[in-house]
Structure 1
Amino acid sequence: MLVKIYNENPNEREINRVVDLLRNGGIIIYPTDTIYGIGCDITNAKAVERVARIKGVDVAKADLSFICSDLSHLSAYAKPIPNHVFKLMRRCLPGPYTFILEANNQVPKYFKGKKKTVGIRVPDNAIVQAIVRELGNPILSTSVKDEDEILEYTTDPELIDEKFEKLVDLVIDGGFGGNIPSTVIDCTSGVPEIVRQGKGKVEL
């Protein structure tokens, strides 16, 4: 099912509809400030497993991230963040960045496996920010990839819907997406390091 929501002024009724679906274990495809993502409520283990099956990955081994609405969510899922790292995050977010942080015990066990880290995103996109705010906790973030050898990511939400309509419960049409992923910054050593250069440009 394809639902149109405008980034400039997300419709509250449609946002509530998406959130109700997430609370009931649904899986959505949604826009970000980079590429389209597949997600669910991170507190719903069955939904997380469904996303992992769609992606063909093991939850405990996969590099899955959380979408947060703002930095206030961080203390709930990450160990205390050094001041210089927090300043960097405050400078970059909302924006096209994924920060890898040390996970605390609040992160669901099925995410961590043997890993002790968590990826955090706060996209500069009003639709997904509104969804996470209304939901009250983060949603899972993993990219919608394409089998095309040239185009790594599908940018047209109608094509995404055609491809995934039997696998997910709802696709949000928030306009054409990008095809460059987020810049990934690993902060677990205390010294931020860019491990994937993506859309976001930053001076460390």
Structure 2
Amino acid sequence: MEKALEILKNGGVILYPTDTIWGIGCDATNVEAINKIFEIKKREKTKSMIILVENERRLQDLVDVPEMAWQIIDLSEKPVTIVYENPKNLPKEILAEDGSIGIRLVKDDFCKKLISKLNKPLVSTSANFSGDKSPLKFSDISQELIDAVDYAVEENRESVSKYSGSSVIKVWSDGRVKVLRE
């Protein structure tokens, strides 16, 4: 945990286990680190990435949370990423073309502790090259990708994710809802 925090605080990029699959992450407020992830993944900058937060307070610091989003978060049994309009306090490089952002309120203890100690939201994008299969366990991650990041977390390397990703649901401030990924 301490090594991961040191890397993140210094603008580095890590591989880490999330509440779904293994992810590539960085401080979501650090533009240089965000751009480094796009380069590592060989991903177009027009494709947005999601961020993880550890508690409701941090979520509310970033977006106005519609009532419908709270209901979805409370009722969802699997990890759910909500796409919100008009985020604040985030660099444009992390936002989708329409200015929205996907945010997941994590329940995983390791992620919660890491984000809390960093005291900033954390980028989370699948630990693969753009277009490749998402890694359900650490051994699914290519050596080339492991070599490209600044640090790979030691935690949970043997476990296999129950989820191949989160549900992704867009919620508008007027209460409209659209399921983008189940």
TM above 0.5: yes
Matched, 1:186 2:158: no
After TM superposition, the score normalised by the length of structure 1 is: 0.77
Q: How many corresponding residue pairs?
A: 178
The one-character-per-residue Cα deviations of 1:84-117 (angstroms, maximum 9, x if unpaired) are 3223223338x51111011333221222364221
Unaligned runs of 5+ residues in structure 2 are none
% same residue: 25
Alignment correspondent of 2:92: 109
Query: 2:108 corresponds to which residue?
Result: 125
Following superposition, the deviation at residue 44 of structure 1 comes to: 1.4
Larger radius of gyration: 1
CA RMSD after TM alignment? 2.4
Q: Secondary structure at the match of 1:166?
A: helix
Give the drift of 1:18: 1.2
Separation (CA, whole Å) in 1 of partners of 2:37 and 2:19: 21
What pairs with 1:1-204 in structure 2 (closer than 5 Å)? 15-59=1-45, 61-78=46-63, 80-92=64-76, 95-112=78-95, 114-145=97-128, 152-160=133-141, 162-173=143-154, 174=156, 175-178=158-161, 180-188=164-172, 190-197=175-182
In 1, distance between residues paired with 2:48 and 2:130?
A: 19
Displacement of 1:29 in angstroms is 0.8
TM-score of the superposed pair, with normalisation by structure 2: 0.85
Go from structure 1 to structure 2 and tell me whether the alpha carbon gap of 1:186 and 1:166 turns closer, same or farther (over 3 Å shift).
same
